[in-house]
Amino acid sequence: MTASPAGPPADFDPPRRPDPATLLTVQQHILREQDRLPGAGGEFAWLMSGITLATKMIAARVRRAGLTDLLGAAGNTNVQGEEQQKLDVYANDALLHALSWRDSVGFVASEENERPVAVHHGSPAAKYAVVFDPLDGSSNIDVNVSVGTTFSVLRRPADGRQDVSAWVLQPGRVQVAAGYVLYGSSTMLVYSIGNGVHGFTLDPSVGAYVLSHEGIRMPEQGRYYSVNEAYADEFPGPYRAFLGHVRGGGLGRRYASRYIGSMVADFHRTLLKGGIFLYPPTADSPGGKLRLLYEANPVAFLAEQAGGRATDGARRVLDVEPASVHQRTPLVVGGRTEMDAFERFVGGPAAGDRV
């Protein structure tokens, strides 16, 4: 040991630099990245830890679903008249419970609750609203197919308004953070706080989401289109014409179709492999089936952050001003080549990178 010129030798070791080859957990990543958010302190990381904790609980239940009495209907219908599965109820309770411990959360709104739930909205510490679909694609659980959770984080109203509409009914372009967890062959969390899209795989041996997909970019052109073609006769003309164009080789290559029926799983494939996912207006759902606030907005935010786009057929999804919590929307999301072509068919907004 050598004496430093400034004094006696130190009786401690120098700091160890983190080894980039070692695991980076989502919590470490959020702590590193949250400096980008004006006014965010450790409470944003604490909020996100509520989501990661709840989704790990949900993942554990989903994994055991076939072994225990967790499959099937819970005997209730939710506000949208859809039958609730037992795991819908469990997933909703897990998220509500985990987030209710976070002082920074003012309101939460869920697909499974008719009205938003007040958490700490009266407290000056409450900076965020969180909206989520606790279990997306839940009709797939009974047949052991991937399901997911989607979430969106919104900032409290800048003008100090306390009404729930001001907290929750905000356009997707102002989302602070958005993401999803996919309970697939592995469990993955994908999120963005406006700094690109990053994916973490749950390592069950340590119980942590570990960085596995940094800076995801959607390929400019893919090989799949994804839509429920059983309803094709009901789609508006431009949607049918676009799909015919794709099938006919109009995009310069042969496409295959893939449709899981869990939006998270269908979007995840589109994010990683490119292509296009569509849930058009149909006879049953003329305004689309998917929900704007907690399904379309998170996916649209991630798509744009990864170099893709999302439209409702007429407008950029992120620019739609929501009027109600459970508002539905058509959704078309994909990579640049497919979205350019789709927008030519619907006469939508001029193609261009809006990130």
Stretch that binds ligand AHG, among 91-99, 100-108, 114-122, 132-140 (CB under 6 A): 132-140
CB 216 within 8 A of CB 197: yes
From ligand AHG, Mn ion, none, which one binds at residue 212 (CB under 5 to 8 Å depending on kind)?
none
Closest C-alpha to 200, from 211, 191, 192? 211
Q: Is 187 in the site for ligand AHG (CB under 6 A)?
A: no
Q: Is 146 in the site for ligand AHG (CB under 6 A)?
A: no
Candidate list 33, 40, 107, 111; residue touching Mn ion; CB under 5 A: 111
- Segment 275 to 314, residues that bind ligand AHG, using CB under 6 A: 279, 289
Name, in order, each residue with C-beta under 8 angstroms of 171's C-beta and a sequence gap of 6 or more: 318, 319, 320, 321, 322
CA distances from 218 to 255, 261, 278 (A): 17, 21, 16
What does 101-138 look like in DSSP terms, one character per residue? T-TTEEEEEETTSSS-EESSTTSTT--EEEEEEEEETG
Q: Which is nearer to ligand AHG, 105 or 296 (CB)?
A: 296
Residue 321: CA count within 13 A, CB half-sphere: 2
Q: Is 92 in the site for ligand AHG (CB under 6 A)?
A: no
- Least distance between Mn ion and beta carbon 118 (Å): 22
CB 94 within 8 A of CB 58: yes
Give the per-residue contact string, 199-218, with ligand AHG (x = CB under 6 A; - = no): --------------------
Q: Which is nearer to ligand AHG, 125 or 256 (CB)?
A: 256
- Segment 18 to 77, residues that bind ligand AHG, using CB under 6 A: none
Stretch that binds Mn ion, among 132-140, 177-185, 231-239, 337-345 (CB under 5 A): 132-140
- Least distance between Mn ion and beta carbon 128 (Å): 21
Stretch that binds ligand AHG, among 130-138, 201-209, 212-220, 245-253 (CB under 6 A): 130-138
Q: Which is nearer to Mn ion, 265 or 276 (CB)?
A: 265
- Least distance between Mn ion and beta carbon 271 (Å): 17
Stretch that binds ligand AHG, among 116-124, 137-145, 155-163, 213-221 (CB under 6 A): 137-145
What does 15-51 look like in DSSP terms, one character per residue? PPPPPTTS--BHHHHHHHHGGGSTT--HHHHHHHHHH
Q: Is 82 in the site for ligand AHG (CB under 6 A)?
A: yes
Cα dihedral 285, 87, 57, 180, rounded to 10, equals -10
CB 139 within 8 A of CB 78: no
- Least distance between ligand AHG and beta carbon 250 (Å): 24
Interatomic CA distance for residues 263 and 83, integer angstroms = 18
Interatomic CA distance for residues 217 and 326, integer angstroms = 30
Q: Is 171 in the site for ligand AHG (CB under 6 A)?
A: no
Q: Which is nearer to Mn ion, 93 or 203 (CB)?
A: 93
Residue 26: CA count within 13 A, CB half-sphere: 33
Backbone phi, psi, residue 155, to 5°: -85, 150
Element (H, E) at 77: strand 73-77
Closest C-alpha to 108, from 92, 127, 131, 91? 131
- Least distance between ligand AHG and beta carbon 293 (Å): 13
- Segment 107 to 126, residues that bind ligand AHG, using CB under 6 A: 111
Q: Is 266 in the site for Mn ion (CB under 5 A)?
A: no
Candidate list 52, 138, 221, 337; residue touching ligand AHG; CB under 6 A: 138
Q: Which is nearer to ligand AHG, 210 or 232 (CB)?
A: 232
Interatomic CA distance for residues 116 and 107, integer angstroms = 7
Please give the residue ranges that form the binding site for Mn ion (CB under 5 A).
111, 133, 135-136
